Structure 1
Amino acid sequence: MLRMKVLVPIAFVAIVASLGWALVAMMRGDSSSGDAQRSRRMARALTMRIGLSIALFALILLAHWMGWIQPTGLPAR
């Protein structure tokens, strides 16, 4: 359970960092690199973000299924 408490925030930070990487690639105004290079870099960063998000979602589902984490929502009436 402690591993999940550490792993989930690290995954969120990686997702946000990947989104920031895409923003930097989009905003960079280098005249030396063409639009194709910039688009490729941005697409790679956004693809990584999607992959990390799907992996995190699958990890949370697996952890719940394996009993590593328990739901702690409001009690049902």
Structure 2
Amino acid sequence: MKYLVLLAFIAIIGSLGSALFFMMRDGRDGKAKTSNMARALAFRVGLSILLFICILLAWKFGYIQPTGIPLSK
């Protein structure tokens, strides 16, 4: 599970970097640049939602256990 989350975070950061590249790239065709940037950002949002759903399902099925600071002392 740790490797899946790590791989998802790397893909999310890569997609964000790809959108930055398309935004900063100099080109004559502004529509294609915007389309590529929007596609990269939509892919990033989709990956983030998928990662969130996978983490919730892993918790629900008992693959991961919540740990941390107790709510009250």
Quote the offset at 1:19 in angstroms.
0.3
**Following TM superposition, by how much is the alpha carbon of 1:75 offset from its aligned partner in structure 2, in angstroms?**
2.9
The residue aligned with 2:52 is 57
Choose which of 4, 23, 40 in structure 1 pairs with 2:20: 23
Alignment of 1:1-77 (within 5 A): 4-31=1-28, 34-76=29-71, 77=73
Letter in 2 for 1:43: A
Aligned-residue Cα RMSD (Å) equals 0.9
- Structure 1 residue 30, shift from structure 2 partner: 2.4
Give the number of aligned pairs: 72
Q: So what's the TM-score if we normalise by structure 2?
A: 0.94
The residue type paired with residue 19 of structure 1 is: L
Higher relative contact order (CA 8 A, sep 6+): 1
Unaligned runs of 5+ in 2: none
5+ residue gaps in structure 1? Answer: none
Name the CA distance, whole Å, in 1 between partners of 2:8 and 2:22.
21
Distance 1:5 1:53 in 2: 16
Q: Which aligned runs of 4 or more in structure 1 are off by greater than 2 angstroms?
A: none
